[in-house]
Structure 1
Amino acid sequence: MAVTIRDVAREAGVSISTVSRALAVPEQVAEATRVLVQATAARMGYRPNRNARSLITGRNGSIGLVVPDLENPFFGSVCKGVQARARAAGYTVFVADTDEDPTAEAEIVRSLIKQVDGVILCSPRTTDAEVRQLSSETPTVLANRFLEGIDSIIFDNGGGLDVVMQHLVALGHRRIAYAGGPLKSWSNGQRAGAFVAFGESHPDLDLIELGNFPPYFSGGVQVADLAVASGATAVVAFNDIMALGIIDRLRQRGLSAPDDMSVTGFDNVAVSTYVRPNLTTVDMPRVQMGRMSVDALLDSVLGRGQASGPRLQQLAAELMVRQSSGVPHASAKAPTDATELLDADV
């Protein structure tokens, strides 16, 4: 026979209502009582009725996570952190993939609202105005994007770009290219802005913006030919997947990293250590971002820590130096005529 809430109350020596509050709204119960009830329920194998809990608390016990592309391992890691933290807090997670489509984000969030207590928008591609509107309709946390007035968890994108640029300059590179990601990506805007600022503070360098590309392996393949034509001795890719595409295309052309061109990425996804050469990249603690996003959302849902209002939390980026970056080749080629066309487009 299934264990009931009455059985737990009898075993713990408390009232049924106390058991209900300790499991459904634990912040309303004294710590000693809460610990006793939760331990008793766990020992007896009691499973609360989610529908009943929803009636008591007005909450669903679920949260939503909306990401642009689940095939991108960056978002898989964020999802892992979200799932782990939510499970520990007794919440389930609904995950939705927008397929990099900004117009789908609002539709997906609104379809989730009745099923969840709040939503984590990870790297949303939609406009600031749309994000603000969504946040007015349901508790919202932004992961990998900042917007004033909304809880946001971000990486130090500018610091990450600076540290990889300093690394390349220290190796002797003077003509460096940046291959951007989606035009509507907030993190790409931060990195591209830091790239421009780095050039302004280092007038002796020749920095090239190659443009914006799909954040996929195929996007990196597109980048490689332009990077070679530009005469750059190093290229910084928006993410690791693009960087791997660049390296593969160089190989197809009989070139290699880092001998003919140094290649670096962002994110430090697992595959960056599996390939040869290992990829020099900027590590972004994605699992930690997922955990912190859940904490921030539950603070909002449960009314914890609201006195100070919405918070901005920033995670540090760390350079991981591996095999794909090295000193410029002595016979590095000068820019071809294609560079002039490239510069004209930029």
Structure 2
Amino acid sequence: MSKDEPETTDSAGAPEARAGRRPTIYDIAQRVGLNPSTVSRALNKPGRTNAATEEKIRAAAAELGYRANPMARALPTGFSGTYAIVLPDITNPVHFELIRGAEQVARANGFTLIISETEGSAEIERETIETLQPSVDGLLVVASRLDDAELAALATVKPIVGANHSTPSLPSVAPDLPMGLVAALDHLDDLGHRSVAYLGLGGAQINRSRWDLTLDLADARGIAVVEIAVDAPTVEGGADALRRVRASGVTAVLAYNDLVAHGLLRAARSAGLSLPEAFSVIGFDDIFSAELAVPALTTLRSPLREIGTRAMETLIDPEHNRAPSKVVLPLELIVRESTAAPTR
């Protein structure tokens, strides 16, 4: 605009943001007749300003098409308004609802959530967290492949909250493993199964507590249990385990997750086996395809969206995102067609 060009105003007489230029808090301040510091506080720290004033400021921001600049906001405050969610496998349906729960919390509070995948590798997970830390305010780490000491060391840089697994030194939100595995083992016990295979994730840290608990619960019920490691928590990993499941002679299988269970069901069907007559199968998570499997999969239903919601609420709370805590949410056994009394 030249010095001789008249300044445009809106219907209320307030200067309009110039065409081709991104609106700023100063434009909003002119629109509502308040100090820029008040506008900044209302937009970046909800609840610190009178509710009516905050509503007026947000309405003006929307009218002007204002969008917060995370990098600019980070300069005076040290905070970017951006968080990250780090997960092992973006293609695993188990993460869909968890991500949705976290995203809804982030969006409702005016924050940005970015997603990064680690391919189930502890090394990639560590590198990913270290790469993201300078540009985010905190991280949700889902089903981590790192141990507690490694995560605690990383969390000294930026807050980390564990989601869908527990880690003693940090805040975490996880399903109630004892509750779920007790229900699963009781179900198999009631059906008359005396031998069970656990299809687990090899030496992965996240797998150990599940296997140890399964071993104790099976022993207490007089059920023989064997651990069979899968190379990856995928359909292919489950399919590859069929030969070892058959060789073990068990009458039932507990799978690390529903994808592993799906792979086992598919491979058994391809081999001409009828399930659950040959052996029963129980999955974990109750992803959307569990009830569509053949036979429909008995599984432990995990409250995935609530895990994402509760974990994100903890992460954005500076009073709680560094103190060790553990939120445990219920697992529910969903009985379908893949479990029955043993035939031998």
Asked if Structure 1 and Structure 2 have the same fold, meaning a TM-score greater than 0.5 normalized by the shorter chain, the answer is yes
Q: Distance in 2 between matches of 1:249 and 1:4?
A: 59
Q: Distance in 2 between matches of 1:30 and 1:179?
A: 56
Structure 2, unmatched stretches of 5+, are: 1-15, 18-22
- Who is 2:155 aligned against? 135
> Residues 235-274 of structure 1 correspond to what in structure 2 (within 5 A)?
235-274=253-292
Q: Distance in 2 between matches of 1:305 and 1:105?
A: 23
Residue 242 of structure 2 contacts residue 267 of structure 2 at CA under 8 Å; is this kept in 1? yes
Q: How much does 1:295 deviate?
A: 0.8
Residue 147 of structure 2 contacts residue 205 of structure 2 at CA under 8 Å; is this kept in 1? no
Q: How much does 1:161 deviate?
A: 1.3
Q: Aligned AA for 1:141?
A: V
Q: Distance in 2 between matches of 1:287 and 1:13?
A: 42
Residue 181 of structure 1 contacts residue 215 of structure 1 at CA under 8 Å; is this kept in 2? yes
1:69 to 89, 111, 122: 89
Residue 25 of structure 1 contacts residue 57 of structure 1 at CA under 8 Å; is this kept in 2? no
Q: CA RMSD in A?
A: 2.2
Deviations 1:33-89 (A, max 9, x none): 334433443355432343432223221111111111112222233222222221222
> Residues 202-281 of structure 1 correspond to what in structure 2 (within 5 A)?
202-203=221-222, 205-281=223-299
- Who is 1:33 aligned against? 53
- Who is 2:216 aligned against? 197
Residue 247 of structure 1 contacts residue 256 of structure 1 at CA under 8 Å; is this kept in 2? no
Q: Distance in 1 between matches of 2:263 and 2:302?
A: 20
Calculate percent identity across the aligned residue pairs.
35
1:95 to 82, 91, 115: 115
Deviations 1:242-281 (A, max 9, x none): 1111111111221121122111100111111222211111
Residue 183 of structure 1 contacts residue 212 of structure 1 at CA under 8 Å; is this kept in 2? no
Q: Aligned AA for 2:239?
A: V
Q: How much does 1:102 deviate?
A: 0.7
Q: How much does 1:315 deviate?
A: 1.1
Q: Distance in 2 between matches of 1:251 and 1:309?
A: 48
Residue 158 of structure 1 contacts residue 190 of structure 1 at CA under 8 Å; is this kept in 2? no
Structure 1 runs of 4+ with >6 Å offset: none
Q: Aligned AA for 2:337?
A: Q
Q: Distance in 2 between matches of 1:150 and 1:30?
A: 35
Residue 62 of structure 1 contacts residue 94 of structure 1 at CA under 8 Å; is this kept in 2? yes
Q: How much does 1:146 deviate?
A: 2.2
The more displaced of 222-231 and 15-24 is 222-231
Residue 182 of structure 1 contacts residue 215 of structure 1 at CA under 8 Å; is this kept in 2? no
Residue 265 of structure 2 contacts residue 294 of structure 2 at CA under 8 Å; is this kept in 1? no
Q: How much does 1:211 deviate?
A: 3.5
Q: Aligned AA for 1:293?
A: A
Q: How much does 1:196 deviate?
A: 1.0
Distance 1:305 1:111, change over 3 A: closer
The more displaced of 171-180 and 206-215 is 206-215
Q: How much does 1:154 deviate?
A: 1.1
Q: Distance in 2 between matches of 1:15 and 1:95?
A: 36
Q: Distance in 2 between matches of 1:109 and 1:327?
A: 46
- Who is 2:342 aligned against? 328
Q: Distance in 1 between matches of 2:183 and 2:211?
A: 14
Q: How much does 1:13 deviate?
A: 4.9
The more displaced of 21-30 and 288-297 is 21-30
- Who is 2:315 aligned against? 297
Alignment coverage as a number of residue pairs: 324
Deviations 1:100-142 (A, max 9, x none): 1111122111111121111111111123222111001111111
The structure where helix makes up a greater share of residues is: 1
